[in-house]
A and B are shown apart, each in its own frame.
Chain A
Amino acid sequence: MNDTADSTLKNTLPQRQFLSIAMENLLELIIRLSGISAIIFVLAIFFFVFREALPIFFSDHFDLAKFLFNTQWYPTSEVNVRYGTFALTFGSISVTFLAMIIAVPFGLGSAIFISEFCGPKMKESLKIIIELLAAIPSVVWGFIGLTVMSRIIVSLTGAPVGVNLLNGGLILALMSVPIIVSISEDALKAVPDSYREAALALGATKWQIIYRVLLPSAKNGLLAAVLLGIGRAVGETMAVLMATGHAVQIPHGPLDSVRTLTANIAAELGEASAGSDHYHVLFLTGILLFIITFAVNLTADLVIRGIRRK
């Protein structure tokens, strides 16, 4: 019985051709390469940036401790060159922190509204508008910060200059909100409806469902959304360059101007002559930035794993 079934199969089904097997192997190879290429690119970027930065370690004017913890940044001084990036690091961190204080509650709130409360028509239009917001180029945001926002800040707070930490934080918040909204909305949408129904049948109110079922089950996605927002804020260059005032100092309040690591590199790399200490130290600043973002991602990863283990 089985023999006849086998023989009919052999007769009717064509044999796999050599070509189709080869194509399959080729496709697998290509996919494998694309996967591995991510690792290669990261390593290559790190390698080339580090190669440009390396000579600074052999310079007489450079001291790693001062580079990290000194606030004096005078890279072009004739008499006393100082390469302290602490004010820049602090600038990056404070602008990002301020932006996240504003953007995370707004972003999450808006995502919860879109996914749980609003009607289908409103939902569609809101999503389109938020995607439009994400598509605005960063230089346009910088322009808004420099002109519109700075005037508003001056007239509301009476600060001497409108381009400052607050301005940069607001602009960055506006830039990261769309990312946070769209990713957290995806995360909330991924929570199965059966969870909502089960909680509903237990007599839970809308809010109880949100904070006791939806937020806990979507927490990984929500955390990812916040971290991508942070990533966007730390890495953003043009908008903060135009909106923060570009003064190297530790800010005493939100109305002081600051300069960020990214803005510093963008503004000075064009002027530093290739091969000079200044040039090399800017690349080292790039590595510092790289390490900060890496640390953020790693923390996030560990936090998510920690949550999962519970």
Chain B
Amino acid sequence: MTPPEKTIEIENLRLAYGVKEVIHSVTFDIYRNEIFGIIGPSQSGKTSLLRCLNRTIDFVSNATVSGTIRVDGADISRIKDIYALRRKIGMVAPLPVGLPLSIYDNVAFAPRSVGLTKKDDLDEIVERCLKQAALWDEVKDRLGTLGTALSGGQQQRLTIARALSHQPQILCLDEFSIAIDPVTTMRIEDVLKELRNDITIILVTNLTQQARRLADRTMFLCNGDCIELDSTENIFSDNPQYAKTYEYVNGIFG
């Protein structure tokens, strides 16, 4: 069996806000077309890690990043077209951020940013992404209304559609389900399982069971340290490598 192809390689990544280091030298790889779960208590650096990936961390004025992150072999700290990198990585934030635009414009935002203006193409992208995010049937008759007027769960699916609109190769979901009801969550989880055939998914979640349901491999991150990274099966088994993992996964600690 050939070793799986790496799409993201992270080496000795450290991140500090001011003098406080929040990620202490983590090293791991993410393989192509896997669902990579990241679990861990709050304040352990999960969101910060994602922000390093698409370099939106650059806009936090007191953040210092060291170590290397390679996406498809290219060191992102030296990358020239930062916007292309961000389009390659779709990002879904924990609380839905509907831009104050219509539903259609929300999804068409990224394609338009790269200069796609033909109505037919945009229509096609909007329809495809909204269908992928399981939102199309609910909004197809009112694409012109404000995205912020949708319900919380619909807005979250809108942000997922938006993250898919620039055809990312990597989709990062940061606790996407905290604002959505369980039924919709399950629908989106089904969508994610389908998407796995085409793209790599990084799933940050506080719901350990969600990682268990979806992820191929899971990393347990705690206070900025990678405690354990293994196949999801092993992480959630009765005897993972570290006792701390067992305690967190089973709700004894954390």
Chain A residues with CB under 8 Å of chain B are: 120, 192, 194-205, 208, 212-213, 216-217
Contacts and interface: CB of A to CB of B under 8 A. Distances in A.
B100 interface: yes
A197 B56 contact: yes
Interface string B107-142: 001101110000000000000000000000000000
A97 B86 CA distance: 43
Given A195-B99, A208-B113, A212-B109, A201 B91 contact: yes
A203 B113 contact: yes
A198 B97 contact: yes
B contact residues, range: 20 to 34
Given A195-B99, A195-B100, A213-B99, A202 B110 contact: yes
Interface of B: 54, 56, 59, 61, 83-87, 89-91, 93, 95, 97, 99-101, 109-110, 112-114, 159, 162-163, 165-166
A201 B53 CA distance: 10
B100 A202 contact: no
B93 A197 contact: yes
B101 A216 contact: yes
Given A201-B91, A203-B87, A195 B113 contact: no
Contact of B87 (A195, A196, A202): A202
A5 B91 CA distance: 50
B83 A194 contact: no
Most B-side CB within 10 Å, residue of A196, A197, A213, A217: A197
Given A208-B113, A212-B109, A201 B86 contact: yes
Contact of B110 (A120, A196, A204, A213): A204
B172 to A, nearest CB: 9
Contacts, number: 67
**The 5 A-B residue pairs with the shortest CB-CB distance in the complex, in nearest-first order:** A203-B87, A201-B91, A203-B86, A202-B110, A198-B97
A38 B192 CA distance: 58
A67 B101 CA distance: 48
Contacts of B56: 197, 200-201
Contacts of B84: 203
A204 B93 contact: no
A151 B120 CA distance: 59
Contacts of B163: 201-202
Contacts of B95: 194
A194 B97 CA distance: 7
B93 A202 contact: no
10 contacts: A195-B100, A198-B162, A200-B56, A202-B110, A202-B163, A202-B165, A204-B113, A216-B100, A216-B101, A217-B99
A153 to B, nearest CB: 43
A204 B166 CA distance: 11
Contacts of A198: 93, 97, 99, 159, 162
Nearest to B61: A120
A195 B99 CA distance: 6
Contacts of A200: 56, 59, 86
Contact of B99 (A120, A199, A205): A199
A192 B93 CA distance: 14
Contact of A205 (B83, B85, B89, B165): B83
A213 B100 contact: yes
